[in-house]
């Protein structure tokens, strides 16, 4: 979708939110309105309603909205004085508060359609006829504190979606239904992967099946980065306030840190690993010949996320990152970033995310930042050179960089077309500087210099990445990643012995296998294996026992094949070693 199309769609959605507000006030007279912006895939509006809202009410509001839209009413904009605005919205306390908070020199504008006037900066479509009456739908309601402050009133937020054409609305609604089917929390329960206890919000209890996948993923990353020249370290889980103050995180990130006290000293559970890695770098004299130094850690981190923001294993309070920091010279930035990009693409390919499913975004200096403009110029220039060297096309995100440096963000597009920001690499001149943690090396001129620090991750949070994979594959993990690659199913108890013999051969070859010797009939065992999305079901009976073969049923629906145990073992091992995604 082009930038112009996105802008057009945002206007339609914003305008539809105004129509919804008008409909709500018509059906719920005396209600108070707050704010109603467009958002990704839709819009919302917050209300203080005269009574709780029901699903039937949403249908009535939609009907009223269609009535308004069909009237072909113009959206008219005009600027008003502060006094006029306060008088106009005297019976709407939330609007009055917004007006009073506006800077004295900021123009105040209102938009009117069909006799309904709302405080708004705009823009909007010209006429309600530009809103297709069959292309919007109200989706759900939720509670929302006024201005996100839990000490303020709880309002009712009504979410909706709006599109230019009915076919686009249908595609979106169908996608949501498929997303619900793929929900990682639902599949996680069905496949017995993990659970999250209400008394431990944001903390994951990994079950044997889920932990097997977790360890496979961790070992995979470890193998890849070791081959790419990284050394692995481990830093403390709890570190003192003084370190976080020197790094700058205490001032910027304190509210998101879990803080504790011991012997009259303040400590924090680490929300990130970078200060610890610098402390390791500083423990001996470093030479320019030591650089680049690629230091990796599967760092256990905690962040004090608001409970309302938590979401399954996608957004948690305790997580592990495939984190690493590259200490290098300024001249080495382009080659190191390019090297990282090649590693990242190679790894993503093994999960089925080819180049056409990877979006790259270049985030430049934010308004609130540390360091002078000259340093930022060098950092952004080096990152741009690295992108050119790596052959990366990217989209600029102005002002979205970290407070210490610019960054590249790598976004994956899943099977439903949804986007997930995962990998990142950030150029940091600040943290190793004398003003911060003072990391140094001896250059070829025998003088002391501060290295540049590249913060990077490929998967990001392992927990979140597993959640993404669950939903992308709908639980049908590639063979190399699945917690159980095969199950041997005897057609009758008389063939249990042969089934166990086959399973033993598979295990000896390093294949994760089970043998279903339960009392259920064969078809019930096959259905259970299909529920667990096991890639290969090996059915054995009299003929297979006599011939030393297995009847292979494939998860992906291919025709059944008769294979020798040796041939099947070699086939699975080749599939695993090549990280084949399709089966």
Which residues are documented as binding site for Zn(2+)?
Answer: 274, 325, 455
Q: CA of 190: how far to CAs of 518, 528, 534, 555, 565, in Å?
A: 19, 11, 13, 17, 30
Q: How far apart are CA 183 and CA 181, in angstroms?
A: 6
Q: How far apart are CA 328 and CA 309, in angstroms?
A: 36
Q: How far apart are the first and last CA of the chain?
A: 32
Q: How far apart are CA 464 and CA 272, in angstroms?
A: 16
Does the bond joining 292 to the residue before it have cis omega, within 30 degrees of 0?
yes
Tell me whether residue 195 is exposed, middle or buried, using C-beta atoms within 10 angstroms of its C-beta: 0 to 12, 13 to 18, 19 or more.
Answer: middle
Instruction: State both tokens at 204.
Output: 């994951």
Taking the CB of residue 27, how many other CB atoms lie within 10 A of it? 16
Q: Catalytic positions, please?
A: 274, 303, 321, 323, 325, 407, 455
Instruction: State both tokens at 399.
Output: 């002002």
Q: Which of 54, 47, 52 is nearest to 22 (CA)?
A: 47
Cβ-contact 379, 406 below 8 angstroms? yes
Task: Report strand pairing: 452-461 vs 448-449.
Answer: unpaired
Cβ-contact 528, 520 below 8 angstroms? yes
- Report the helix count and the strand count for the chain, using DSSP H and E: 17, 28
Cβ-contact 9, 165 below 8 angstroms? no
Q: CA of 299: how far to CAs of 152, 233, 409, 539, in Å?
A: 37, 9, 20, 43
Cα-to-chain-centroid distance, residue 113: 38
Instruction: State both tokens at 119.
Output: 């405080």
């Amino acid at each position: 979708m082009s930038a112009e199309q996105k802008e057009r769609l945002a206007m339609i959605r914003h305008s539809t939110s105004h129509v919804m507000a008008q409909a709500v006030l018509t059906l719920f007279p005396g209600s108070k309105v707050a704010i109603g912006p467009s958002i990704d895939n839709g819009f919302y509006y917050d209300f203080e309603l005269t009574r709780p809202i029901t699903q039937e009410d949403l249908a009535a509001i939609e009907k009223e909205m269609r009535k308004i839209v069909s009237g072909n009413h113009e959206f008219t904009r005009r600027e008003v004085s502060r006094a006029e605005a306060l008088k106009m919205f005297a019976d709407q306390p939330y609007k009055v508060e917004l007006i009073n908070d506006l800077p004295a020199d900021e123009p105040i504008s209102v938009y009117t359609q069909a006799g309904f006037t709302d405080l708004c900066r705009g823009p909007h479509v010209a006429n309600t006829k530009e809103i297709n009456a069959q292309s919007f739908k109200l989706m759900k309601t939720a509670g929302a504190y006024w201005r996100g402050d839990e000490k303020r009133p709880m309002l009712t937020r009504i979410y909706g979606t709006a599109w230019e054409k009915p076919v686009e609305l249908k595609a979106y609604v169908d996608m949501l239904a498929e997303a619900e089917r793929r929900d990682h929390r639902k599949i996680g329960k069905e496949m017995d992967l993990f659970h999250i206890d209400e008394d431990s919000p944001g903390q994951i209890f990994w079950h044997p099946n889920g932990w097997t996948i977790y360890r496979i993923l961790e070992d995979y990353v470890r193998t890849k980065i070791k081959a790419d020249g990284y050394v692995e370290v481990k830093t403390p889980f709890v570190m003192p306030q003084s370190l976080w103050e020197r790094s700058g995180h205490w001032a910027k990130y304190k509210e998101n840190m879990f803080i504790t006290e011991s012997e009259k000293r303040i400590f924090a559970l680490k929300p990130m690993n970078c200060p610890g890695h610098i402390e390791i770098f500083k423990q001996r004299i470093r030479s320019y010949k030591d650089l680049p130094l690629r230091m990796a850690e599967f760092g256990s981190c905690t962040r004090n996320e608001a409970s309302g923001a938590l979401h399954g294993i996608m957004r948690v309070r305790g997580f592990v990152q495939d984190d690493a920091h590259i200490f290098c010279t300024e001249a080495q930035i382009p080659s190191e970033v390019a090297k990282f990009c090649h590693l990242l693409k190679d790894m993503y390919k093994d999960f089925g995310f080819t180049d056409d499913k990877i979006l790259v975004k270049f985030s430049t200096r934010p308004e609130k930042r540390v360091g002078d403009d000259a340093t930022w110029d060098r950092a952004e220039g080096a990152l741009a050179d690295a992108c050119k060297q790596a052959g990366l096309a990217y989209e600029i995100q102005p002002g979205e960089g970290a407070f210490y440096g610019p960054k590249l963000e790598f976004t994956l597009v899943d099977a439903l077309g949804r986007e997930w920001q995962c990998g990142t690499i950030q150029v940091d001149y600040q943290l190793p500087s004398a003003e911060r943690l003072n990391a140094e090396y001896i250059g070829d001129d025998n003088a002391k210099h501060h290295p540049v620090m590249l913060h990077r991750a490929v998967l990001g949070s392992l927990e979140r990445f597993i959640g993404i994979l669950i939903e992308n594959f709908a639980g049908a993990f590639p063979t190399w990643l699945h917690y159980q690659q095969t199950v041997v199913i005897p057609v009758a108890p008389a063939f249990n012995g042969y089934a166990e013999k086959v399973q033993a051969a598979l295990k000896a070859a390093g294949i994760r296998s089970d043998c279903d010797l339960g009392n259920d009939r064969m078809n019930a065992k096959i259905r259970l294996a299909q529920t667990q999305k096991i890639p290969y079901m090996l059915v054995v009976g009299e003929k297979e026992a006599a011939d030393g073969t297995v009847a292979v049923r494939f998860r992906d629906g291919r025709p059944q094949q008769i294979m020798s145990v040796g041939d099947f073992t070699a086939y699975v091992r080749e599939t695993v070693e090549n990280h084949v995604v399709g089966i």
